[in-house]
Amino acid sequence: MARVIRSSAVTLAAGYVLLGFAALVLFAAPLRYAWQATVEDFRIELLQEDTQRFAEVFRLGGPAGLSAFIKERVGLQIAGERILLLADRSLHPLAGNLPAWPGSIPSEPGNYTVPIDLGGERTMVSIVRTALPGGYNLLVGRDVERFAPIERRFWSGLAAAVAVLLVAGLLGGILIRRALLARIHGIQQTVAAIMRGDLSHRLAVRASGDELNTLSQTINRLLEQIEQLVHGVANVSNSIAHDLRTPLAELRSRLEELSLTRPAAEETFQEIDAAVSDVDHVIRIFNALLRLAEIDAGTRRSGFVEVDVADLAAKAVEFYLPAAELENRSFVFREGGPVLVRGDRVLLAQAINNLVDNALKYVGKGGRIAVEAIRRPDGTVTLSVADNGPGIPDAEKPKVTQRFYRGDASRGTPGMGLGLSLVEAIAKLHGGSLELADNHPGLRARMTLEGSAAPQPLPEQHPGPRLEQAGAVGEA
C-alpha cells in the first residue's frame, strides 16, 4: 500500500513538472515567433529609412554626390556594423564598405536575409537592394548577429524558468507526498483498528474543509451506519434467539410429550392442532422479520407510486371499526381530502393498520382513538393515531420501536413485539420517522412522511378538519 502511494506521489510530481514544461513551451513558442517577426520588421524598417535618405542624396547630388556621402560615412565609421554599397549598372562598386557586389543577393530589388562574405567571414545579413535612377544599385544592410545576445538572453531566461519549475515541482511533489502519506496513514490506522473489530473508532476531522476532510467525514458517516447496522444485526440475532426459541421450545416439548405418553386419539389431535398453531406463530415471526429485512434493504423504493394515505387511514378505521364497537371503543377520523405520498401502498397500509391495531389493543373499554392524516404547510405528511389508553412511560418510548421489545403493559397480550419497529422501518423507507408522544392521557403515535411532489388536489371547502363520528365512517 505504502509503495503504491509513494509511486503515485512521484508520478504526481513528475506529471506536474511535465505539465509545467509543456505550458512553458506553449507559452515561449508564440512569444519567440512574435519577437522575431517584430525585430525583423523593425530592422527592415530602419534599413528602408536609410535607403530613403541615400536615395534623396542621389536625387540631389547624383552618383558622385552619393559616392562622396557614402565614403564620408564609411570613413567616419558611423556605419559600424552597417553594410553600404553603391554600384553601377554592371554591379561594379563605386563606394561603400564591401570590396565587391556579393553574388548571393538576388537580382531583383527587395528585402533579403542572406549570407555574405564580410571581412573573410560568412555572416547572415538583412539587406535592402534598391534600384536608383540611371541603372545604379544600392545595398543597405545590417548584420543580423547584432540581435543575437538578446535572443540568447531570452533562451537562458527560459531555461532558468524551466529549472525553477523542475525544482519547485519536485519539492512540491515531495511535500505533497509527505502530507498525503501522513493523513492516509492516519486513515489506514483507523480503518485497521475498525477491521480488528472496534467499530467505535472514527477518522480525525480537521477544522479546514479540504477534500480529505470531506472524505473523512463521509467515511465517518459510513462507519456510523455500519456500526448501527452491526448493532442492529446483533440485537436482532439476540431477539430472534429469544423469541423464536420460546415457541420452538414449546413446540418441541409438546411433540416430545406426545411421542412419550401416546395419549388417546382425541387428545393427540388436539395437541397436533396446537403444534400446528405453534408453527404458524413461528412462521408469522419469520415473515415479519423477512419483511423488515426487505424494508431495511430499501429495494422497494423502486416501485414507489402515488398513494393517498388519507384513504388508507379511512380504510384502516373502517376495517377495525366492528372490532372497536364490540367493546364500545370509538374512532374519530379527521379527514381533509386526499393526502398524497410517493410510496409503497402495501407497506403504508400495513404501517397504518399496525398503528390502529396497536391503539385498539391497549385502549380500554369505552376508549377513543383519533386518526388523522394531514399535509402540513412545509409539504410533509403526518399520519397520527392517538388513543386515551394507558400510554407508554417516557423511559420506555425509545425502546418500543426496537425489534422484539415488549413493554410491561403488553405482556400477556398477543403480539410479537415487531409491530412498531415495522412501522418505524416503513416510515424510514419513505424518508420519514415515527414519533411517540404523550396524548395526556394515552399515546400519540405520529408517522411523518415526505409529501408527494405532485400537485395536491385542493382540499374540500370547509376550512377546518372535518370530524366524523365513528358510526359515520364508511357509510359514504
Partner 1 sequence: MKILLVEDNERVVRFITKGLKESGHTADHAANGRDGLFLAASERYDVIIMDRMLPGNIDGLAIIEALRKAANHTPILILSALGDVDERINGLRAGGDDYLTKPFAFGELLARLDALNRRGRQDAAETTLEVDDLRMDLLSRRVVRGARAIQLQPREFKLLEYLMRHAGQVVTRTMLLENVWDYHFDPQTNIVDVHISKLRQKIDADFERPLVKTVRSAGYMISADPARPSAG
Binding site for partner 1 (CB under 8 A): 273, 276, 279-280, 283-284, 287-288, 290-291, 294, 299-300, 303, 315, 318-320, 322-323, 326, 344, 346-347, 349-350, 353, 357, 414-416, 419, 474-475
Of the two residues 414 and 464, which places its CB atom closer to partner 1 in the complex?
A: 414
Chain Cα centroid distance, residue 238: 38
Cβ partners under 8 Å of residue 57, min gap 6: 65, 66, 69
Least Å distance, CB 429 to partner 1, is 13
Least Å distance, CB 427 to partner 1, is 16
Q: Which three cell numbers stand for residue 262?
A: 401416546
Place of cell 403488553: 410
Place of cell 394507558: 390
Contact 125, 142 (CB under 8 A): yes
Q: Is 444 helix (H, G, I), strand (E, B) or coil?
A: strand
Q: Is 238 helix (H, G, I), strand (E, B) or coil?
A: helix
Of the two residues 45 and 267, which places its CB atom closer to partner 1 in the complex?
A: 267
Least Å distance, CB 346 to partner 1, is 5
User: Which candidate, 333, 374, 17, places its Cα nearest to that of 164?
Assistant: 17
Of the two residues 22 and 279, which places its CB atom closer to partner 1 in the complex?
A: 279
User: Which candidate, 366, 365, 368, places its Cα nearest to that of 356?
Assistant: 368
Least Å distance, CB 474 to partner 1, is 6
Least Å distance, CB 21 to partner 1, is 58
Cβ partners under 8 Å of residue 49, min gap 6: none
Contact 380, 446 (CB under 8 A): no
Of the two residues 1 and 326, which places its CB atom closer to partner 1 in the complex?
A: 326
Report the distance separating Cα 215 and Cα 334, nearest Å.
47
The type of residue at 234 is: A
Of the two residues 9 and 351, which places its CB atom closer to partner 1 in the complex?
A: 351
Contact 388, 368 (CB under 8 A): yes
Least Å distance, CB 168 to partner 1, is 59
Place of cell 422501518: 425
Phi, psi dihedrals of residue 439, rounded to the nearest 5°: -105, 0
Other Cβ atoms less than 10 A from the Cβ of 305: the count is: 10
Report the distance separating Cα 371 and Cα 382, nearest Å.
11
Least Å distance, CB 297 to partner 1, is 10
Of the two residues 186 and 474, which places its CB atom closer to partner 1 in the complex?
A: 474
Of the two residues 130 and 239, which places its CB atom closer to partner 1 in the complex?
A: 239
Report the distance separating Cα 369 and Cα 332, nearest Å.
6
Least Å distance, CB 188 to partner 1, is 40
Q: b or e along 79-100 (b: 16 or more beta carbons within 10 Å of the residue's beta carbon)? A: beebbbbbbeeeeebbbbbbee
Of the two residues 145 and 294, which places its CB atom closer to partner 1 in the complex?
A: 294
Of the two residues 144 and 416, which places its CB atom closer to partner 1 in the complex?
A: 416
Of the two residues 385 and 416, which places its CB atom closer to partner 1 in the complex?
A: 416
Of the two residues 113 and 246, which places its CB atom closer to partner 1 in the complex?
A: 246
Least Å distance, CB 322 to partner 1, is 5
Chain Cα centroid distance, residue 465: 44
Kindly provide the residue ranges of all beta strands, DSSP E only, lying in 210-356, ordered along the sequence. 305-308, 330-335, 340-343
Least Å distance, CB 268 to partner 1, is 16
Least Å distance, CB 298 to partner 1, is 13
